[in-house]
Amino acid sequence: MKNQFYSYIKDLQNQITKGLEKVDGKAQFKEDVWKRSEGGGGRSRILENGFVIEKGGVNISQVHGSLPESMQAYFKVGDVAFSACGLSLVIHPKNPMAPTVHANYRYFEMYDKSGKCIDQWFGGGLDLTPYYLFEEDAKHFHKQCKQACDEHHTEFYSDFKDKCDSYFYNAHRDEARGIGGLFFDYLRADKVFSISDRYNFVSSVGDSFLEAYLPILNRRKDLPYTSDQRNWQEIRRGRYVEFNLVHDKGTLFGLKTNGRIESVLMSLPPNVQWRYDYHPEKESEEAKLISILKNPVSWI
């Protein structure tokens, strides 16, 4: 399964980077192929200073080795080995009318000392982080998420949508990072779903990414904006950074397993602001966004 999934995400990385380069029209992804001294490696692709995308990364990796003690405590296991592979992407558009997007699709295995696989699961999801709220964009994004879920189970969308709203939440700010999407983790084989069923579901969600995001990016990338709106984008990016460094499981896992730091932190935007005790004007478009982030919406 790990080889099957890694082959899938290699192809998916190619599809996604090609689609994003076409929309940008100027910049191309720079590729770094790297190895991890403890075992495994990956292929990082970064795009910067394009016409449309200010910074974007689409990374894949397949790493393995002994699970560090810090992660043994996290997973509540003993001295085991692991293998993890996945694709992770974050796209930060230049235009504040266009939303940031994140997606991650991953597979994890654990082994005992004899090399026997003792656990395996899938995780991942995708979510949208707008700076100005366009309801048609939110509905489109969630519609694509629901369609990918409904192919496999009619309850998946509502379940994973709720988990996304709960996970991508800056509790210290009492607000969501964005308007959600899907989040799922520890998708193991059970009485209903085989591990192949889980693979089919996660690959369906991965295949839906471009249709979920590119129509939105194309609608918003050329809209006019002011310097004040750009400032607001950078202030909200600060909240994005706070979540990724304080709460995000993927970032913490990468740092605690001696991950490649440039790949782990590729999600951080290039230009960010933190203003002291900043609040948008009442009844403004910026205030409308904050209201939504404090009260998750059912977009479908």
Distance in angstroms (rounded) separating the CA atoms of residues 105 and 198? 12
Q: Detail the DSSP E strand segments found in 49-199.
A: 53-66, 81-93, 100-111, 117-129, 169-170, 175-176, 180-187
User: Is position 102 annotated as part of the catalytic site?
Assistant: yes
**Is residue 101 helix, strand or coil?**
strand
Distance in angstroms (rounded) separating the CA atoms of residues 186 and 108? 9
Distance in angstroms (rounded) separating the CA atoms of residues 194 and 10? 23
Sheet holding 180-187: strands in order across?
A: 30-35, 40-48, 53-66, 81-93, 100-111, 117-129, 180-187
- The first and second tokens of residue 8, run together, are 């899938």
- Of 64, 92, 102, 279, which is the active-site residue? 102
291: part of which helix (H) or strand (E)? helix 285-294
Q: Please list the active-site residues.
A: 102
